[in-house]
């Protein structure tokens, strides 16, 4: 028999009374304030990880974190499980999805190479057999490339320098580590900040050629890109992927004598940030105020 208890949506615990002696197995917590703020202000991307609990009882702590509008970690949910297994991960993710689902497509990041993976984890594995400053630089250049032609160019360069390194990376699907494949739904860039993008704009000489309406061709050194301000699109795809205007977009915005910040995706706005931290996590009483529930203590 399973007993579910809920405390105003904040706490979901499960107790197996089959043996009539209560024992602790798992605990999942997603605070109402965190859930609502996540849905109101964070992007649809969730990081998952697990840690060993160094206590007498053992077990593992599973956590789910998001990114807030200021690109900082946002705690979403956590659980204590007996051990990290497929069953305990499935249990955790199903409870999390029941809390946040709302017909949204979520992207999960983990070090398990099943969805989208953390590039730092991938690089740490990569460098064990392929060390070196140049290889490292090319790895990150390939990972950060926002359009396929640039990615292919960097991978060709890597192949010329170290074919083994190139082949190792080719065994990992680009959908999990290469930015040029990333969906436009995620609006996340952990590498380039808005200031850095503005820095790019001031360091290079760019020329915007107005094609008509909201369309431009922008020359950036030996490269050139097409931009449509109305469609929030640049052919370099940085804006499409991150929601942050790239150097080409900013050139067009300045050409129009407009404010660049108005083209920043609303998920980065101060107002969104405030919404993200508007709710409070209500304080709760300690055990002295708890109501007895008739169940033997664990
Ligand atoms: Zn661009």
pLDDT tens digit string along 172-213? 766 667 777 776 665 555 443 344 444 444 456 888 898 888
What separation in Å is there between the alpha carbon of 252 and the centre of ligand 1?
10
What separation in Å is there between the alpha carbon of 286 and the centre of ligand 1?
54
Tens of pLDDT, residue by residue over 72-104, are 899 999 999 988 888 999 999 999 998 898 677
Same domain for 88 and 6: yes
Could you tell me which residue, 235 or 283, shows the higher pLDDT?
235
Same domain for 99 and 10: yes
Same domain for 211 and 159: no
Interaxial angle between packed helices 86-100 and 32-41, expressed in degrees from 0 to 180 and rounded to the nearest 10: 70
> What is the number of domains present in the chain?
3
Confidence at residue 195, expressed as pLDDT on a 0 to 100 scale = 41
Same domain for 233 and 172: no
Would residue 24 count as lying in a domain? Answer: yes
Backbone phi and psi for residue 13, each to the nearest 5 degrees, phi listed first = -125, 155
Taking residues 263-282, what's their average pLDDT?
Answer: 86
Q: How far apart are CA 113 and CA 115, in angstroms?
A: 6
Q: What is the mean pLDDT of the chain?
A: 80
Q: How far is CA 81 from the centre of its chain?
A: 24
What separation in Å is there between the alpha carbon of 267 and the centre of ligand 1?
19
Q: How far apart are CA 46 and CA 109, in angstroms?
A: 6
Confidence at residue 61, expressed as pLDDT on a 0 to 100 scale = 95
Same domain for 147 and 93: no
Would residue 69 count as lying in a domain? Answer: yes
**Predicted confidence (pLDDT) at residue 164 exceeds the cutoff of 50:** yes
What separation in Å is there between the alpha carbon of 150 and the centre of ligand 1?
13
Confidence at residue 153, expressed as pLDDT on a 0 to 100 scale = 92
Residue 12 contacts by C-beta under 8 Å, 6 or more apart in sequence?
Answer: 4, 5, 6, 28, 29, 30, 95
What separation in Å is there between the alpha carbon of 203 and the centre of ligand 1?
15
Same domain for 164 and 218: no
Residue burial 11-31, b: 16+ Cβ < 10 Å; e: rest: ebeebeeeeeeeeebbebebb
Would residue 139 count as lying in a domain? Answer: yes
What separation in Å is there between the alpha carbon of 246 and the centre of ligand 1?
5
> 175: closest CA among 183, 184, 167?
183
Domain containing 168: what range? Answer: 116-181
What separation in Å is there between the alpha carbon of 297 and the centre of ligand 1?
60
What separation in Å is there between the alpha carbon of 245 and the centre of ligand 1?
7
Strands 73-81 vs 60-67: parallel, antiparallel or unpaired: antiparallel
What separation in Å is there between the alpha carbon of 13 and the centre of ligand 1?
48
Q: How far apart are CA 197 and CA 240, in angstroms?
A: 14
Same domain for 34 and 94: yes
Residue burial 177-205, b: 16+ Cβ < 10 Å; e: rest: bbbbebeeebbbbeebebeebeebbeeee
What separation in Å is there between the alpha carbon of 237 and the centre of ligand 1?
6
> 80: closest CA among 34, 7, 16, 24?
24
What separation in Å is there between the alpha carbon of 235 and the centre of ligand 1?
6
Same domain for 12 and 68: yes
What separation in Å is there between the alpha carbon of 254 and the centre of ligand 1?
14
Q: How far apart are CA 6 and CA 11, in angstroms?
A: 5
Q: How confident is the model at residue 260 (pLDDT cuts 50, 70, 90)?
A: confident
Same domain for 90 and 10: yes
What separation in Å is there between the alpha carbon of 28 and the centre of ligand 1?
42
What separation in Å is there between the alpha carbon of 147 and the centre of ligand 1?
10
Final residue in a domain of this structure, among 157, 181, 205: 181
CA torsion, ordered 30, 33, 37, 38, to nearest 10 deg: 0
Would residue 186 count as lying in a domain? Answer: no
Would residue 272 count as lying in a domain? Answer: no
Residue 237 contacts by C-beta under 8 Å, 6 or more apart in sequence?
Answer: 146, 147, 180
Same domain for 161 and 217: no
Task: Out of 11-15, 85-89, 275-279, 294-298, pick the least confident.
Answer: 11-15
Question: Model-level pTM?
Answer: 0.65
What separation in Å is there between the alpha carbon of 247 and the centre of ligand 1?
6
Task: Out of 232-236, 273-277, 288-292, pick the least confident.
Answer: 288-292
């Amino acid at each position: 028999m399973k007993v579910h208890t809920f405390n105003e949506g904040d706490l979901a615990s499960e107790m197996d009374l089959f043996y009539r002696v209560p024992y602790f197995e798992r605990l999942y917590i997603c605070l109402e304030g965190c859930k609502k703020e996540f849905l109101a202000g964070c992007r649809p991307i969730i990081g998952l990880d697990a840690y060993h609990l160094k206590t007498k009882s053992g077990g593992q702590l599973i956590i789910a974190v998001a990114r807030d509008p200021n690109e900082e970690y946002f705690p979403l949910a956590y659980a204590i499980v007996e051990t990290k297994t497929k069953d305990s991960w499935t249990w955790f993710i199903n409870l999390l999805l029941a809390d946040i689902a709302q017909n949204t497509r979520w992207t999960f990041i983990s070090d398990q190479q099943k969805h989208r993976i953390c590039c730092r984890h991938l690089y740490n594995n990569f460098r064990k057999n392929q060390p070196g400053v140049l290889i490292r630089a090319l790895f990150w250049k390939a990972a950060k490339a926002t359009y396929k032609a640039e990615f292919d160019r960097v991978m060709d360069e890597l192949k010329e320098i170290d074919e083994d390194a190139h082949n190792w990376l080719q065994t990992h699907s680009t959908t999990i580590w290469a930015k040029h494949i990333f969906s436009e739904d995620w609006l996340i860039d952990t590498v380039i900040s808005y200031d850095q993008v503005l820095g790019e704009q001031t360091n290079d000489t760019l020329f915007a050629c107005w094609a008509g309406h909201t369309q431009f061709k922008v020359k950036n050194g030996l490269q050139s890109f097409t931009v449509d301000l109305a469609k929030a699109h640049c052919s370099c795809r940085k804006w499409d992927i991150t929601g942050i205007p790239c150097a080409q977009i900013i050139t067009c915005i300045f050409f129009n004598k407009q404010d660049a910040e108005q083209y920043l995706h609303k998920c980065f706005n101060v107002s969104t940030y405030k919404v993200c931290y508007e709710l409070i996590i209500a304080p709760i009483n300690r055990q002295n105020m708890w109501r007895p529930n008739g169940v033997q203590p664990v």
